[in-house]
Amino acid sequence: MDDLEILKVSIAQVLAQDCDPRSLHDYVNQRGGDLAAALGRQAGELGWLGIGLGEEAGGLGMGIQGAALLARELGRRLAPGPFAAVLASIEVIERFAPEEISKQVLPGLVSGELGAAIPASFEAGEFGGWLLGEIESAVLLLHGETGLALAKAREPVDQHGAWDRTRGLWQKPADPEVLCMLPEAAAGHLERVASLLVAADTLGAMEGLFDITVDFLKQREQFGVAIGSFQALKHRMADMAAQIELADCLLEQALGADDADVVFWSGMCKAEVTDMVAQLAGDCLQLHGAIGFTWEHDCHLYLKRVRLNQALVWSNHALRQGSFDALVAASVNGRSLMEIGQ
């Protein structure tokens, strides 16, 4: 078992204990403590947030593969909090921010003392003015007139209501305190990293929903037998398992893509995985029957999580168009599909 697999097992065990369904529903319905803050502190104490950060900067040095692994396990348990924004911000700040700014900001992000927010969407329009993550005591990655800005909010801003209550959507500050401007390439890198993290979170959520759906089909009985024994439902679950496996292969391919092909693979991965999973999540809700449509059932939380993921970063149509343009450019430069698919 390699280091990533060992860490995956450890993360899964902690989340199974500390992000159980009852605690999650209490958080979503505002009946208990701040589960997101508690998980954020624990992630900092256990070193999870530095999983992709280089060892020389105090991280675990596992790169984007490590960050995606963490995002996938967090998605599997629907862990609330600004984790995607924090992981993406660490990746961008480490690579593009001036050294004096990195030394000032990264330790707080890795320890969980600082939150983060990134653009919820890079497209124009109302949703393009929102931020995903956390605003208070946080660093922000914002679109500026000359590129991507690393900033902090000077005053409180409004939070947008969203169907997914496990993440926060915020209005972009009107007058942020800019810490520095990042190079032009930083915006594109943030888009690609965010796409991969959203895809990983979505796939993890689908794996979690698939597990509870299988358990339900084994327990629910009609005519004295478990409905999971019905041939039609067996075929539906087998098809679903095959699609999850395809999504896993696509994510693995995207995470391993080199710089020349990362635009193509990251965009296609986010678009294909989130669209596929949104459909599968709807199927799982139907397989639960009437109980799946009730507000208190876990199906609702999973479906809302993956539906929001569909809209994040860019619309999936725009991502597919970007991937197509990248594919055409590669072909014009004399590269074959076999080379891109390696």
Token output for 298: 């876990």
268 and 316 fall within a common domain = yes
Choosing from 184, 219, 234, the residue where a domain stops is 184
Residues 39 and 13 in one domain: yes
What range defines the domain where residue 115 resides? 3-184
Last residue of a domain, one of 132, 166, 184: 184
Same domain, 198 and 215: yes
Residues 16 and 104 in one domain: yes
Task: Name 220's Cβ contacts closer than 8 Å, sequence gap at least 6.
Answer: 226, 227, 228, 289
The 10 Å CB-count burial string (b at 16+, else e) for 171-204 is: ebbeebeebbbbeeebbebbbbbbbbbbbbbbbb
Q: Are residues 19 and 155 in the same domain?
A: yes
The CA distance from 94 to 102, in Å, is: 6
Please indicate, yes or no, whether residues 137 and 75 belong to a single structural domain of this protein: yes
Contact 212, 298 (CB under 8 A): yes
Coil, helix or strand at residue 151? strand
Q: What is the DSSP letter of 174?
A: S
In the numeric block, which tokens belong to residue 102? 């990195």
Q: Determine phi and psi for 147, rounding to 5 degrees.
A: 140, -160
pLDDT for res 281:
95
Question: 179 and 234: one domain?
Answer: no
User: What CATH number corresponds to the domain at position 65?
Assistant: 1.10.540.10
51 and 163 fall within a common domain: yes
Number of domains in the chain: 2
pLDDT tens for each residue of the chain, 342 residues long: 688 899 999 999 999 999 999 999 999 998 878 999 999 999 999 999 999 999 888 899 999 999 999 999 999 999 999 999 999 999 999 999 999 999 999 999 999 999 999 999 998 766 678 999 999 999 999 987 778 999 999 888 888 888 899 999 999 998 899 999 999 999 999 999 999 999 999 999 999 999 999 999 998 878 888 887 889 999 999 999 999 999 999 999 999 998 888 899 999 999 999 999 999 999 999 999 888 888 789 999 999 999 999 999 999 999 999 999 988 888 888 877 666 666
CATH code of the domain in which 219 resides: 1.20.140.10
Q: Are residues 272 and 309 in the same domain?
A: yes
**pLDDT recorded at residue 278:** 96
